[in-house]
Amino acid sequence: MKAVFVERYGGNDQLRFGNMPDPELRDRDVLVRVHAAGVNPLDSKIRDGEFKLILPYRLPLILGNDVAGVVIGVGPEVRAFKPGDEVYARPRQDRIGAFAELIAMDEADVAMKPKNLTMEEAASIPLVALTAWQALVERAQLKKGQKVLIHAGSGGLGTFAIQLAKHVGATVATTTSAANIELVKSLGADIVIDYKNDDFENVLSGYDVVLNSLGKDTLEKSLSVLKPGGKLVSVSGPPDAEFAKTNGSSWFLQQVMRFLSFGIRKKASRHRVTYSFLFMQANGQQLSKITALIEAGVIRPVIDRIFPFDAAKEALAYVEAGRSKGKVVVKLR
């Protein structure tokens, strides 16, 4: 099968487009013919080797963390899916590979595609949707009437998280550039801060939750926005010991991550708030709940550009530039 893969860690020049073996079908697997795949900053980080200590991938490695397509085969223990089903998923972290003509995934990670979305729209959803769900609904336990700050509101995660937070009933503030103010308002943002002209930490206060996907400076400034008892959830690190424990990392790596997160945890404690790092987990049941919200018209996908499959390298470079409004997708068929 044709695929986009890396043989060694490094920049975009390490990406290869060529033939790879068809995936092995395990007993609980569904085999999916890929129609479209979402492109995420996570793909670049994996390509660069940023996670090689905590996620020891085997090389060569096919990239891609979002997929939509049609089931063409199932393992003997699969009960929820059959050939012909239109599905979408975020494959679990040790079985990524959406940038390929075929992918095999555990049925527990897969959900039926929303009927009202195209394959390209569906492929843009799983990773950011599950990240937003696990950050806001599970980790932060965001409730009606609470206030949440979602950084980078016009990005892939931000555009979904704003809509989910509004559905919960929260007041939503977000940061973005002036060019994207109308976009984030159309998604439900109540307070929009142009990060180029205003400092969010001087404007906002008394917030219950902050969802961070940006760097260290933004992370630390976010502490002052929270009220006592507030929760700072970051998907961009630093990883903490709890993540290492959940990930099954060794005792040594748990101590390393405890050390890496010591500074932000100490500052959070001084502000009487909590810090936690979130690395999203594949979950087909949660994705099915998200499907219901999409089919009900509560949440809509926001897509910036669709690239052809053989332009995956250009798609990754475009996402890395950090200016996409919503998600970027590669189309296979």
Reported as a single tens digit per residue, the pLDDT across 23-34 is 999 999 999 999
Of 219-223, 243-247, 276-280, least confident by mean pLDDT is 243-247
Instruction: State the burial class of residue 285 (Cβ atoms within 10 Å of its Cβ: 0-12, 13-18, 19+).
Output: exposed
Predicted TM-score (pTM) of the model is 0.95
What tens digit of pLDDT does each residue of 118-167 get? Answer: 999 999 999 999 999 999 999 999 999 999 999 999 999 999 999 999 99
What three-state secondary structure class fits 186?
helix
In this model, does residue 327 exceed pLDDT 90?
A: yes
Residues 65 and 316 sit within 8 Å (Cβ to Cβ): no
Which pLDDT score, from 0 to 100, does residue 258 have? 83
Residue/partner pairs of 80-88 with CB below 8 Å, 24 or more apart: 80/107, 80/110, 81/30, 81/107, 81/110, 85/30, 85/112, 86/112, 86/113, 86/119, 87/30, 87/32, 87/111, 87/112, 87/113, 88/113, 88/114, 88/122, 88/123, 88/125, 88/126, 88/287
* Cα(263)–Cα(101) distance, integer angstroms: 44
Identify the structural domains of the chain with CATH numbers, from first to last.
2-125+301-331 (3.90.180.10), 127-277 (3.40.50.720)
What three-state secondary structure class fits 333?
coil
Residue 260 binned pLDDT confidence (cut-offs 50, 70, 90)? confident
Closest CA to 124 of 88, 92, 151, 99: 88
What are 36's strand-pairing partners? 68, 331
Residues 89 and 67 sit within 8 Å (Cβ to Cβ): yes
Q: Is the peptide bond before 238 cis (omega within 30 degrees of 0)?
A: yes
Q: Write down the mean pLDDT value for the chain.
A: 94
What are 5's strand-pairing partners? 16, 62
Backbone angles phi and psi of 297, in degrees to 5 = 80, 10
Alpha helices in 276-320 (DSSP H): 284-295, 312-320
Residues 330 and 36 sit within 8 Å (Cβ to Cβ): yes
289 or 239: which leads in pLDDT: 289
The first and second tokens of residue 140, run together, are 């932060």
* Cα(290)–Cα(257) distance, integer angstroms: 31
What are 30's strand-pairing partners? 74, 105
CA 140 to chain centre: 16
Q: What is the mean pLDDT of residues 184-209?
A: 96
In this model, does residue 229 exceed pLDDT 90?
A: yes
Query: How many CA atoms does the CB half-sphere of 116 hold within 13 Å?
Result: 12
In this model, does residue 329 exceed pLDDT 90?
A: yes
Question: Rounded to 5 degrees, what angle do the CA atoms 327, 317, 62 make?
Answer: 80
In this model, does residue 36 exceed pLDDT 80?
A: yes
Of 39-53, 159-173, 250-264, least confident by mean pLDDT is 250-264
Side by side, which strands form the sheet with 191-194? 191-194, 171-176, 147-150, 207-212, 226-234, 274-277
Q: What is residue 39's DSSP assignment?
A: E
In this structure, the number of other CB atoms found within 10 A of the CB of residue 72 comes to 13
Backbone angles phi and psi of 176, in degrees to 5 = -165, 180
CB-based burial, 298-323: b 16+ in 10 Å, e otherwise? ebbbbbbbbbebebbbebbebbbeee
